[in-house]
Structure 1
């Protein structure tokens, strides 16, 4: 247990320790830690120093971390002592030698990071970085879903992030009695600020961390710590709804609100939350780039279970347009564009992408297809980008396809998303193999199961996060093509969907897919 005074002292201690390692205001630092109180203490220490954290996920590995370090010219990488994290850190240093690797929680590491005495910061005659922090300066970098490859860096400023946190906390009714369970990755925008851990701290509440959303672990924490609020993605919610620890709802449970976001939630599943978990459902639809929508507490059933809410701010501007950027009427699906007081104006060092992602008058093209009701509530229909939403984690098809093409047995590859009752979408790699023309015809196509294991191993060796590995591999002698010569992904989806529904026992690994 840590008090606010403890948190303040730890943040100052980490700021002092980081300054002693040579870090200064404006330095970009990759923060790569699993869920624990440490992640908040180090994050606040970085902000206190004036450094600019890049909020990586604990599941990210060498491929992603190296890309972040190279793109941002990162001054340091702060990571944990897990062997996977240390292997990724070595790869980062090999690719970008200027990056200092600091390890939290391992005193035997080459450069361990532990908080100094808070007095080393508070009593310093000049605190490096503190005086230079303006409200409109970059506070930290969130990560995009990576629809065109490696996630892009999203610069969030002090004023826009605080605006979102304050408005979210007030709208959701957080108070000093709120106890928020951070079960999803703590640095995810949803878990951190929607209203999440920072919104809870802003309201004077309590934050509890869990290593992940596993029902048995979270149920014990809810009971022991009096948790009132939790944020989940739909795949985790489905696990909870079927877990004996939660169903039927426990009499006297402190859990009051279950927020669900990160991927569309089926209305029939949404309606099960009050009955089976004994808590109110709040749907959340947002993006790390800015715009966040909430279903307001106390809304009618058709809004609560059938929409993804409306923007938090009256100054959020929403445009829904057709393929030619012409506005469509309410009730008609279209592309969601937005601008507002806490939505970014551009990605970090990505001018070509920014030219596509933003209109000349500053609207951000979210890539979402939505319908707006006359009352302003949005219903999310899906994604326009070639991006797969696996349980709330976004996977860029192009990134994985390029990596698969580096395997000696792969000639062509296409990654598609298939409907899944647990994850929303499950990944399927369809591969056209390289073949030896001298082989017998019966041996031209490799066994799909053996190839699945081989390709997953290949991607792991390339340093990809575990959640990006294909759930399924199919083999075809040739991939179907459109008249323009592109792989016909709609034809592939039609060929391989629907997939059989998985039982909880078969899908037991969902919440533990990514190593710590």
Structure 2
């Protein structure tokens, strides 16, 4: 269906040192089990496992379909260790195919629905993928056209399409062939090799093409199991996935995989708009949902204007970017549920506020490490430890944090310390109880004439004003100071303004002088005051759902050129 592929390699990632790997096994963290065992025989076969916008599957059907698909893919040449790019919207076929690849011992490369030719070519080339599996179309986009372009540019051997495959293999036909094959010969055994790759996740960088993150069956299964416990998922839970299911947050923190491990029901939605999704919460009696801050903000704005039934919600997880304390308080008040802040990375380390934590932690911190075996350091620029409570660079290693990116030895030399700590790029401080407070990214600072300004800090201060629902702060070039500060803000259209509140009396008054005056009145240092304010209706986002500071800087450059 495409060209002959170059053989893929399973030896392009850095394993854990043997002594540490043995310790994790001795402690019972690593079980040498294939991720497919999430669909274990102990599950109630006739319980609903997954529901999407069009259909539903029980646990028994999901397991049967995945094994049939695995058999069909095997008959067409997909083998253990082969890398396969997987790209789906939030549909049941994503879950079926993911578990089929687990069963085969093949390695899914977790592309997001928004990725296009440039990224797909990169993923196929860097991973030496032998196949690409996708939907026929979604959101008005034809993935078959993308497949044709990627085939012409890479060494892909196969393309499999869910739906109308046209000239490519139809995933339904492959599944049916697998069902027949399983009847005529012995079914494929699910091989347990915990040290082998389970999947290749993607880094969340916003300036370069994503790097590939090698996660093994041992480390990823451990993270999923522990996350399911920390997030309180049980066989009575109903987990709603509205962010891309392939994203590490919604896949494993505890996400779709954690919910299935717990025996819960997963609801996959291709919709994110509150008027489309909040009725799903009411209809399906959703108990847990994972959001990024901009989406949480949009849902809250809608809920304040409209009568919505969210009584079934027990936990709202928020991650992907720092959640301001103002928005955190609103989530708890309006949705009347528990808030769980999640601060993690596809490279490994995940921090959670615990469901029993008080507001001092859930509102003002981003949680503490998932595992007692997680090691974290907060260091200065020279890698010396900072005093507890001071801001520094976060380093980490542990039983589910990678020791190197896939096929990236040159980058690994700077991304990891000689003793295996991953340089996360995050600026944090630790509370006395060991909870993490995110202060921004190492590069998410404005150097204003030598004065360092944390974008995250200023954003938190700006959204503290009732006239602003969200803020994003970026640097702008300046010939004298080097950099100045520009604040992009979204007005709060739902907020009633108290008389005489800090020099801003109506929405039209969100101007630079007024905001600077407001910040002075609440005690903000003069050098931290924004030099420019731009009001926008919505922030651009990355494919990972985070606010795109890169796009905002480009917008600012265009404004300055027109001025």
TM-score range (shorter-chain normalised) is 0.7 to 0.9
The match for 1:13 among 47, 62, 68 is 68
User: Secondary structure in 1 aligned to 2:373?
Assistant: coil
The match for 1:39 among 91, 94, 99 is 94
The match for 1:78 among 133, 137, 140 is 133
Q: Please say if 1:95 is aligned against 2:153.
A: yes
The match for 1:498 among 461, 465, 487 is 487
Aligned-partner Cα distance in 2 for 1:508–1:329: 38
State the shift of 1:97 in Å. 3.7
State the shift of 1:427 in Å. 8.2
Contact 1:135 1:159 in 2 (8 A): yes
Aligned residue in 1 for 2:352: 294
User: Secondary structure in 2 aligned to 1:338?
Assistant: strand
Contact 1:240 1:246 in 2 (8 A): no
Q: How does 1:144-155 map to 2 (within 5 A)?
A: 144-146=203-205, 149-155=208-214
Q: How does 1:336-415 map to 2 (within 5 A)?
A: 336-385=394-443
Q: 236-245 vs 136-145, which deviates more?
A: 236-245
Aligned-partner Cα distance in 1 for 2:201–2:297: 27
Q: How does 1:426-437 map to 2 (within 5 A)?
A: none
The match for 1:49 among 88, 97, 104 is 104
> Kindly tell me: are residues 95 and 118 of structure 1, through their superposed partners in 2, closer, same or farther at Cα, counting changes over 3 Å?
closer
User: Secondary structure in 2 aligned to 1:501?
Assistant: strand
State the shift of 1:81 in Å. 1.5
Contact 1:368 1:380 in 2 (8 A): yes
State the shift of 1:100 in Å. 2.0
Aligned-partner Cα distance in 2 for 1:292–1:18: 33
Q: Please say if 1:110 is aligned against 2:165.
A: no
Deviations 1:30-69 (A, max 9, x none): 0011111111111111111111000000000001010011
Contact 2:110 2:199 in 1 (8 A): yes
Q: 330-339 vs 139-148, which deviates more?
A: 139-148
Aligned-partner Cα distance in 2 for 1:300–1:201: 28
Q: Please say if 1:274 is aligned against 2:332.
A: yes
Contact 1:9 1:118 in 2 (8 A): no
Contact 2:136 2:165 in 1 (8 A): no
State the shift of 1:10 in Å. 1.4
Deviations 1:386-426 (A, max 9, x none): 799xxxxxxxxxxxxxxxxxxxxxxxxxxx99969667648
Q: How does 1:82-481 map to 2 (within 5 A)?
A: 82=137, 83-114=141-172, 115-116=175-176, 119-120=179-180, 122-123=182-183, 125=185, 130-131=190-191, 133-146=192-205, 149-244=208-303, 250=309, 253-385=311-443, 425=472
The answer for unaligned runs of 5 or more in structure 2 is 1-55, 447-454, 464-468, 495-535, 546-563
Aligned-partner Cα distance in 2 for 1:424–1:500: 4
State the shift of 1:188 in Å. 0.4
> Kindly tell me: are residues 26 and 166 of structure 1, through their superposed partners in 2, closer, same or farther at Cα, counting changes over 3 Å?
same
Q: Please say if 1:66 is aligned against 2:126.
A: no
> Kindly tell me: are residues 272 and 109 of structure 1, through their superposed partners in 2, closer, same or farther at Cα, counting changes over 3 Å?
farther
State the shift of 1:98 in Å. 3.1
State the shift of 1:104 in Å. 1.1
The answer for unaligned runs of 5 or more in structure 1 is 389-415, 431-478
